[in-house]
Amino acid sequence: MRILAAGDHFVRNALIADALRHDLAGSPFELTELTLPWPLEPFGKVSEVDEASDAEDALIEALDGVEVCVTQMAPFTERVLAAAPALRMIAVCRGGPVNVNLQAAEARGVRVCFAPGRNAASTAEFTIGLMLAAMRRIPAAHRSLADDRGWDGSYYTYENSGLELEDTPVGLIGYGAVGSRVARVLCAFGAEVEVYDPYVRGDVHGMRASSLDALLSRSRVLTLHARLTPETQELIGARELALLPEGAVLVNAARGGLLDTGALCDALDSGRLSAAALDTYEQEPLPADSRLFSTPNLVLTPHLGGASRAVARKAAAIAAAEVARHVRDEPLAHALT
């Protein structure tokens, strides 16, 4: 069997190769490699697929005679799939195979699987970090010393002192793999956790909100963990931000499209919100003229929530396990076609 590892500078080919050798021990295979430029070059839309490296020609050449491809960012467009008649499986090292034309793959009998949950712990931890950074003004305090402005005592005044999590009402929108972990950690901090997720049944860490508006009206801190769908596009806009208590803090490490960025900037400029922290954006990379760069009390990070070494290793391991199931002709655990 010929397998192509089409890794990048995060899910590296060496990690994919090690995972395949572990899971396919005793099964002969020939491994070839293609290194894609992400994240040193941003992903984007490639023909009809999303969030992929613009490398159709290189991928077509590398797929010659290949039966299985393990990748995170390879653009499996209809053109690529049509040029790879030997291909039988694509194992995508991410939470959803948005870089694969699923209809074209299914029409050609190509199985497509993915790696759900690989970054849940990493994103949950990063969310808590963003929350603390925004609430306690950690980046601004760092800059006040690093920029040689001296010891700024104003950070210790009552007006400029930050919030703490203990006994603070924190609202979570979304209670999936990430949101549930965040809720559990917040409970350990002693926060008053409230969850809104109409698609989740059963117990949650903390209380369950009866409605989104009810959650917003009580949330001194709001953190977003919903999936981005047509229903949740700009779920939090000017009306919703106005329902939050005066001086609330907002955190978004989920999807940028959940939030009306202009409304957020307005709320921060007016002082209606005391702080916010964002890791994801409607447009990535952020344009140079983005209003976010000039908005006060805002912590910005470049979509790093899922960027841990453990995530890269987990992604490769999940994909390799799926390849092993394919080789043994067993049902795939996370298949879409």
Query: Hey, what are 101's tokens?
Result: 């034309």
303: Cα separation from own chain's centroid: 7
- H-helix or E-strand spanning residue 268: helix 261-270
284 is catalytic: yes
Spatial contact of 72 and 7, defined as CB atoms under 8 Å apart = yes
The catalytically annotated residue of 33, 88, 284, 313 is 284
255 is catalytic: yes
The catalytically annotated residue of 108, 291, 303, 313 is 303
Q: What is the dihedral of CA 59, 65, 68, 69, to 10 degrees?
A: -10
Please, what is the end-to-end C-alpha distance for the chain in angstroms? 20
Q: What is the 3-state secondary structure (H, E, C) of 155-172?
A: HHCCCCCCCCCCCCEEEE
Q: Does 296 sit behind a cis peptide bond, omega within 30 degrees of 0 on the bond before it?
A: no
Angle between helices 138-146 and 120-136 (to 10 degrees): 60
Rounded to an integer, what distance in angstroms lies between the CA atom of residue 175 and that of residue 201? 10
Nearest to 84 by CA among 93, 75, 72: 75
Rounded to an integer, what distance in angstroms lies between the CA atom of residue 235 and that of residue 278? 15
328 is catalytic: no
Instruction: Quickly count: other Cβ atoms within 10 Å of residue 219's Cβ.
Output: 25
Query: Hey, what are 99's tokens?
Result: 């870089």
Spatial contact of 238 and 264, defined as CB atoms under 8 Å apart = no
Q: Which residue, chain included where needed, has tokens 């010659």?
A: 64
CB neighbours of 149 closer than 8 A, spacing ≥ 6? none
Instruction: Say whether 31 sits in a helix, a strand or coil.
Output: strand
The catalytically annotated residue of 79, 111, 118, 255 is 255
Residue positions annotated with a catalytic role: 255, 284, 303
